[in-house]
């Protein structure tokens, strides 16, 4: 059961250096003003991957302002650019064999991803999924079978995905199982055999299992979506037992071994008392579980393997203990590694490590043009909500100024069932560089804090979830850090909704607001979800609200578009025309409602973008406009003069 995370651009791993307290913010001189372009431009090199035999290294680098794949031999400085896309960055890629790579790309942000394969010299490129309006997903890259992989396609029915075995050289496909309509996911064993299926009726999820591909699937367990049993990979004998993340009978999830045939947990391997488990890692080559990851204020690990722990300790000793290290790629025998070093003041650094010699070689800094001394530390904080919950978050204070009566940007995260993490954030650093303090909070519903904390968000959009945001603002005002007359709110996706909810529910609290691809109307949002979200619609009804019931009263009360008459803050809206999740109409109707009241709204619509702006020039436009908008609405006259100077 190989979990391929490359097409989520991996996981942004988090560093773990303690931030300084607020009093040290004035111990250094204010940094120079750094351009938006320096914060938001593409790295010269990023996302390094080793070929299975360890002889070559691939990475992403700009070509005509778009991120394309480049390849070089480990023992050579000669680089070959193997892709030449010009319309939009490649979303992700991986080595399918020693000689061939696979990459994924959509059209203008529509998220209908196509898979392409090509040789490591750029020859023989094939569009493996040349179907209009179809979304491809990776089920298993089949590392041990370099000619094939298993993919999912919704080409038969838009709402569901069927699994196919596909030849990466020719695109020839074989249907492995026809989805009856209720299967939402698939998993394989270590031999690439399709052994698990996940079914849903919208609110209950069932795990179905078979001992071999010659047998029919049979039900293991059915759970309400409020509980989790998530198989991660099969035990190394490929039998009936899986390693899983489970919160059954617990509030905080644990790593367990679970017998699928007997339908029972047979061993708890590790549980943290404070937070959920993020992942469990293993060595495919040595067939051992290596580490379990979880996130408190910062990322932490529970090591289960001495060899893996020794690698991380070696990097800490030779590069520095103030950083965090992650293995982002390895060759098949795992004696050559690409290791990523992370912190909160840079985009990070990649290193090449040869376990045979013990040598560590720097491969690339991702933002060498940025001086870490000019970046602001991100400090983990907590405050208490009005109903007694502990809310965790991060406070970033501008350097070189007294942390008192500062202009403040409140930045609720998207999801909403996600979370903010400690680490480098270009948006936050840009705002801090312009003199703004930034608060990010993991309001109720944020993941990682147990299922009770998560479930407290159900049907609380614009209500208790928004109160958690408001309580963070008031906490900063009480601390004397935030100037109560100069508080702005900015967020994307759900964070955009929280922005609009904030200026309609608490109109006196905010001087300015920036809504980035945010929901404005809970009714139309539910009506326009992507087709492949349809199996989860009943679940969304329980989590957000059911418009076909009395919930409709609550949903209208908490849809910002119906309350524009309350808005006092200046508003800037940004939207991608091809967004499949929060469609353009969500922004259009908000802007129209305000304009119908004679209120001018700054609106940026990008026709070649989706759920967030990926193209470099569009990022430049948006963040330059956002900074100018905030300065004009938040800064005092003397501060504006300094900006102009």
Is residue 11 over pLDDT 80?
no
Tell me how far the alpha carbon of residue 381 is from its chain's centroid. 21
User: Which structural domains are found in the chain, ordered by start?
Assistant: 376-639 (3.40.50.1820)
Contact 640, 631 (CB under 8 A): yes
DSSP string, 210-240: -SSTTS--EEEEEEETTS-EEEEEE-TT-SS
Residue 299, CB-side half-sphere exposure with 13 Å CA sphere: 24
Confidence at 57, pLDDT banded by 50, 70, 90: very high
Residue 331's pLDDT is what? Answer: 96
Tell me how far the alpha carbon of residue 81 is from its chain's centroid. 27
pLDDT digits (tens, 9 = 90+) for 181-235: 999 999 999 999 999 999 999 999 999 999 999 999 999 999 999 999 999 999 9
For residue 302, the cross-strand partners are: 292
pLDDT digits (tens, 9 = 90+) for 380-430: 999 999 999 999 999 999 999 999 999 999 999 999 999 999 999 999 999
Task: Tell whether the torsion through CA atoms of 394, 400, 401 and 402 is positive or negative.
Answer: positive
Contact 413, 491 (CB under 8 A): yes
- pLDDT (mean) for 601-605: 96
Confidence at 350, pLDDT banded by 50, 70, 90: very high
| Six-digit token string for 471 | 């309580």
- pLDDT (mean) for 117-145: 95
Residues whose CB is less than 8 angstroms from the CB of residue 189 and which lie 6 or more positions away in sequence, other chains included: 1, 195, 234, 238
Confidence at 13, pLDDT banded by 50, 70, 90: very low
3-state class (DSSP) for residue 184: strand
Confidence at 144, pLDDT banded by 50, 70, 90: confident
Verify cis geometry, omega within 30 degrees of 0, for the bond prior to 32: no
Q: Greater confidence, 8 or 28? A: 28
User: Hey, how many other C-beta atoms are within 10 angstroms of the C-beta on 589?
Assistant: 16
pLDDT digits (tens, 9 = 90+) for 95-127: 999 999 999 999 999 999 999 999 999 999 999
- In the chain, the percentage of residues whose pLDDT exceeds 70 is 94
pLDDT digits (tens, 9 = 90+) for 436-452: 999 999 999 999 999 99
Is residue 354 over pLDDT 70?
yes
């Amino acid at each position: 059961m190989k979990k391929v995370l490359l097409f989520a651009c991996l996981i942004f791993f988090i560093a773990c250096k303690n931030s300084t307290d607020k009093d040290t913010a004035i111990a250094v001189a204010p940094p120079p003003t750094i351009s938006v372009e320096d914060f938001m431009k593409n790295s010269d090199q990023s996302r390094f991957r080793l070929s299975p035999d360890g002889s070559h290294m691939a990475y992403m680098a700009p070509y005509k302002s778009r991120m394309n794949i480049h390849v070089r031999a480990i023992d050579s400085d000669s680089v070959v650019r193997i892709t030449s896309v010009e319309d939009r960055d490649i979303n992700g890629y991986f080595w399918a064999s020693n000689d061939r790579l696979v990459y994924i790309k959509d059209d203008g942000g529509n998220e209908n991803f196509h898979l392409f394969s090509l040789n490591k010299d750029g020859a023989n490129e094939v569009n493996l999924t040349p179907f209009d309006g179809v979304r491809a997903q990776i089920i298993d890259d089949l590392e041990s079978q370099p000619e094939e992989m298993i993919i999912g396609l919704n080409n038969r029915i838009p709402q569901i995905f069927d699994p196919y075995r596909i030849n990466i050289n020719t695109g020839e496909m074989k249907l492995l199982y026809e989805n009856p309509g209720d299967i939402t996911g698939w998993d394989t064993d270590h031999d690439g055999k399709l052994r698990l299926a996940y079914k849903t009726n919208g609110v209950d999820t069932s795990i179905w299992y078979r001992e071999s591909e010659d047998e029919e699937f049979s039900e293991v367990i059915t759970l309400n979506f409020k509980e989790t049993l998530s198989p991660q990979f099969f035990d190394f004998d490929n039998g009936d037992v899986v390693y899983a993340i489970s919160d059954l009978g617990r509030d905080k999830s644990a790593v367990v071994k679970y017998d699928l045939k007997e339908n029972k947990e047979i061993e708890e391997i590790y549980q943290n008392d404070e937070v959920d488990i993020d992942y469990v890692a293993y060595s495919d080559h040595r067939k051992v579980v290596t580490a379990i990851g979880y996130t408190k204020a910062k990322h932490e690990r529970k090591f289960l393997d001495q060899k893996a722990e020794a690698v991380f300790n070696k990097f800490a000793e030779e590069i520095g203990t103030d950083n965090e290290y992650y293995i982002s790629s390895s060759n098949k025998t795992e004696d050559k590694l690409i290791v990523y070093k992370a912190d909160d003041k840079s985009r990070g650094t990649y290193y090449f490590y040869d376990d045979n010699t013990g040598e560590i070689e720097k491969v690339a800094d991702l933002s060498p043009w940025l001086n870490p001394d000019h970046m602001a530390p991100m400090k983990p904080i907590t405050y208490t909500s009005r109903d007694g919950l502990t809310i965790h978050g991060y406070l970033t204070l501008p350097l070189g100024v007294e942390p008192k009566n500062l202009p403040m940007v409140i930045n609720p995260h998207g999801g909403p069932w996600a979370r903010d993490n400690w680490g480098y954030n270009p948006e936050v650093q840009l705002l801090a560089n312009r003199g703004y303090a930034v608060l990010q909070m993991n309001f109720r519903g944020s993941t990682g804090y147990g299922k009770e904390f998560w479930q407290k968000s159900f049907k609380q959009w614009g209500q208790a979830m928004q109160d958690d945001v408001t309580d963070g603002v008031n906490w900063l005002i009480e601390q004397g850090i935030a100037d109560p007359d100069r508080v702005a709110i900015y967020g994307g996706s759900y964070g955009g909704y929280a922005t609009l909810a904030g200026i309609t529910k608490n109109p006196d609290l905010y001087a300015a607001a920036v809504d980035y691809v945010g929901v404005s109307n809970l009714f139309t949002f539910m009506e326009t979800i992507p087709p492949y979200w349809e199996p989860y619609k009943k679940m969304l009804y329980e989590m957000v609200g059911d418009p076909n019931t009395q919930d409709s009263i609550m949903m209208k009360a908490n849809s910002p578009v119906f309350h524009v008459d309350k808005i006092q803050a200046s508003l800037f809206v940004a939207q991608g025309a091809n967004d499949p999740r929060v469609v353009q109409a969500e922004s259009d109707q908000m802007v129209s409602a305000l304009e119908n009241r004679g209120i001018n709204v700054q609106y940026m619509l990008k026709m070649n973008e989706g759920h967030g702006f990926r193209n470099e020039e569009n990022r430049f436009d948006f963040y330059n406009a956002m900074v100018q908008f905030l300065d004009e609405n938040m800064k005092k006259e003397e501060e504006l003069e300094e900006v102009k100077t």
